[in-house]
């Protein structure tokens, strides 16, 4: 991406929680892995996510750098039913992922995932992006771009096709969504200032729990970050809901 944005003026970059939705096997975990480790060979044997995992990544927007906390959860329904209420809490954006070579994964978006989104969150307030993954498998395509565009028009969201394997459009997809999230936050901040309030609302706040693993502190800590980097990770175990991880943002999980 040309013309990298500069740091947010006047302070540390805000932190926003982004969640990933989609059937098991569509490549949600691979997309996050490609974003956070773009130069590392993709592990084609990535096992299905069994609980909740999250990574933090510094991203550029036209208004400056922001930090995205990206939550990835199990696509299997038996896990999703238990995890989704926690998963959506304090989320500001959602990426819905399907596999362009699997028509069923696309049909599940309207049959299952949009219903879950409406049941467990205020869907109208969430920034939404539709991602058709595995664009490198064009010869095996089962979902046309026209169908995807029609879905986006129906539900009011943006659309991109990506390839976690090649890295094509992976960074632009996350930057596109986080840019929408940040624009909304800045607009809300302007309205709050006009009415005598201020501040950008992201994940957590002054009273957030800071006892998580790894960083256990300021969710906006950007030490060790440069360019589009600066990542951390953690997990939420299904059996106890506790977080642990590395990178300094587990205390800002927004649970």
Helix and strand counts by DSSP (H, E) for the chain: 6, 8
How much is the pTM? 0.72
At CA 154, angle to CA 158 and CA 169, rounded to 5? Answer: 20
Task: For residue 200, give Cα distances in angstroms to 68, 81, 184.
Answer: 14, 31, 10
Q: Identify whether 10 is part of a domain.
A: no
Find the domain containing 197 and state its range.
15-205+222-236
Cα dihedral across residues 29, 68, 18, 231: positive or negative: positive
**Contact (CB, 8 A) for 208 and 217:** no
- Residue 25 within any structural domain of the chain: yes
87 assigned to some structural domain: yes
Total tally of structural domains belonging to the chain? 1
177 part of a folded domain: yes
Q: Is residue 248 part of a domain?
A: no
In a domain, 251, yes or no: no
In-domain check, residue 112: yes
Write out the two tokens for 241.
């809901």
Tens-level pLDDT at each residue, the chain (255 residues): 333 333 445 578 999 999 999 998 999 999 999 999 888 776 655 555 455 788 899 999 998 999 999 998 765 556 656 677 778 889 999 999 999 999 999 999 999 999 988 888 887 889 999 999 999 999 999 999 999 999 999 999 999 999 999 999 999 999 999 999 999 999 988 887 777 665 565 665 433 333 333 333 443 343 333 334 455 655 444 334 444 444 444 434 443
Q: What's the CATH number where 194 sits?
A: 3.40.50.300
Asked whether residue 250 is domain-assigned, the answer is no
**Cα–Cα separations (whole angstroms), residue 212 to 67, 146, 239:** 18, 44, 17
- Integer angstrom CA distances of residue 181 from 141, 169, 217: 30, 18, 23
């Amino acid at each position: 991406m040309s013309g990298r944005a500069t740091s947010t003026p006047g302070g540390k970059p805000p932190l926003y929680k982004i969640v990933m939705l989609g059937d098991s096997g569509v490549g949600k975990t691979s997309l996050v892995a490609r974003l956070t480790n773009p130069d590392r060979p993709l592990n084609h044997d990535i096992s299905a996510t069994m609980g909740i995992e999250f990574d933090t990544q510094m991203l550029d927007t036209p208004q400056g750098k922001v930090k995205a906390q990206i939550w990835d959860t199990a696509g299997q329904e038996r896990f999703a039913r238990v995890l989704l209420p926690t998963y959506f809490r304090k989320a500001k954006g959602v990426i819905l992922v399907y596999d362009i070579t699997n028509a069923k994964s696309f049909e599940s978006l309207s049959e299952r995932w949009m219903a879950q989104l409406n049941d467990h969150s205020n869907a109208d307030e969430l920034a939404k992006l539709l991602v058709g993954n595995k664009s490198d498998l064009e010869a095996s395509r089962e979902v046309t771009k026209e169908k995807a565009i029609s879905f986006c028009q129906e539900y009011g969201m943006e659309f991109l096709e990506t390839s976690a394997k090649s890295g094509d459009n992976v960074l632009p997809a996350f930057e596109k969504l986080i840019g929408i999230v940040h624009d909304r936050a800045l607009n809300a901040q302007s309205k709050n200032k006009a009415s005598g309030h201020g501040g950008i609302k992201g994940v957590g706040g002054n009273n957030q729990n800071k006892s998580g693993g790894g960083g256990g502190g300021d969710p906006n800590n950007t030490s060790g970050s440069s360019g589009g980097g600066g990542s951390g990770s953690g997990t939420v175990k299904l059996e106890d809901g506790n977080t642990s991880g590395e990178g300094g943002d587990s205390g800002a999980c927004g649970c």
